[in-house]
Amino acid sequence: MSQSRDEVIVAASAAVAPPTTAAPAVAAVPKRVPEVATMTPKPPLGRGYRAPLMDRIAERVILVLATVAVLAIALIFIFVAKEAIPIFFEPEAQEEISGLLSLFVPHQWPGYEEAVYVWQPVGGTPKYNIVPLFVGTLKITFVGMVFAVPLAVLAAVFVSQYVSPRWRDVLKPAIELLASVPSVVLGFFALMLLATFVQDAFALTYRLNAIVAGIALGLAIAPVVFTVAEDAITSVPKHYEAAALALGARKHQVVLRVVLPAALPGIAAAIILGFGRAIGETMVVLMASGNAAVMEIFDPTTSARTVTATIASELGEVAQGDAHWRVLFLLGAMLFVVTFVLNRFAVVVVERLHKRLTAGGQQ
């Protein structure tokens, strides 16, 4: 039987076409379910880390020492206040000092034609007027600050700005080492050498006076002012100075107009701390001031007597609990308050200067 034309064409196409191969079977891979990370909750900040044993012991020791220091200061103030406060309530003590008002205002003592300021706790009529003591303290302190502050600040500028690092490592410890010199050594130096030199140089009547005591006091407080001022000047960012030099400023212009204004809060703190250190100094003024309670406010060439020297020289010679004893402790309490106020004043001054110089405290 003959094939039709369409069947012949289909057979020829099947013969020419390549054989088709079946695709290999792919094994089904099961999908992996992602594991959910189980994170343990972190402990609160500061509780998950356990410091080494030695660190914890050091922390406790520091805490104990700091607490003891604070308690010691508080107990000292309580003791001083306990001995001073009864003077305001004991009639016998007030009668001996001729009334509380005579401590602060002029009083006409027996044998005097007018009311005067006198500190003379021994004699027929004890005279307890504390104003000459504070006048002498401020007078000697003022002379000491006039001598010490320019010297210390200029030395701080010189060491921090003009000296090479090699010499700075030598000069700074050498100046700071002066703070370790005992005040009794400075007082002895002023008593034996400085007093004679000052009297001969200025033809003064009194060998021991406020000038001699002030210079010796300045030598005692200058290292304190230098250390704080030098640290404040060194802490000024270096890019301030670099920017000023890049604008064409000279070295002295950079120091006067950039570095010192930026370090002004620290320098002010140094001056105030030096002032508090000067008020509390004892041995230098005890040995070099003459210890005469002279009411000469504007004459530093006369002898003077300070609060600290009075307490140191008289406390061991009075009977415990009498009026003289109470007045000396009252002086100590007032000196304590003055020192505390000065420290707080230093903090306020530094904060205000810092805010003013940094545009409200933001740099």
Flag whether 76 is in a domain. Answer: yes
Q: What is the pLDDT of residue 19?
A: 52
Q: What angle do CA 159, 160, 162 make, to 5 degrees?
A: 70
Write the CATH number for 240.
Answer: 1.10.3720.10
Q: Which of 67, 89, 111 is the last residue of a domain?
A: 89
Flag whether 30 is in a domain. Answer: no
**245/295 same-domain check:** yes
Flag whether 27 is in a domain. Answer: no
**171/225 same-domain check:** yes
**200/311 same-domain check:** yes
The pTM for the full model equals 0.79
DSSP 8-68: HHHHHHHHHSPPP-PPPPPPPPPPPPPPPP-PPPPPPTTTS----HHHHHHHHHHHHHHHH
Q: What is the pLDDT of residue 22?
A: 47
**237/305 same-domain check:** yes
**176/325 same-domain check:** yes
**185/236 same-domain check:** yes
**159/223 same-domain check:** yes
The structural domain count of the chain equals 2
Dist. CA 251–CA 301, nearest whole Å: 40
**173/278 same-domain check:** yes
Q: What is the pLDDT of residues 147-186, one digit of tens each?
A: 999 999 999 999 999 998 899 999 999 998 888 899 999 9
Residue 177 has which token pair? Answer: 């080492």
Dist. CA 5–CA 21, nearest whole Å: 29
- Residues of the chain predicted below pLDDT 70: 1-49, 357-363
| Structural domain for 78, as ranges | 54-89
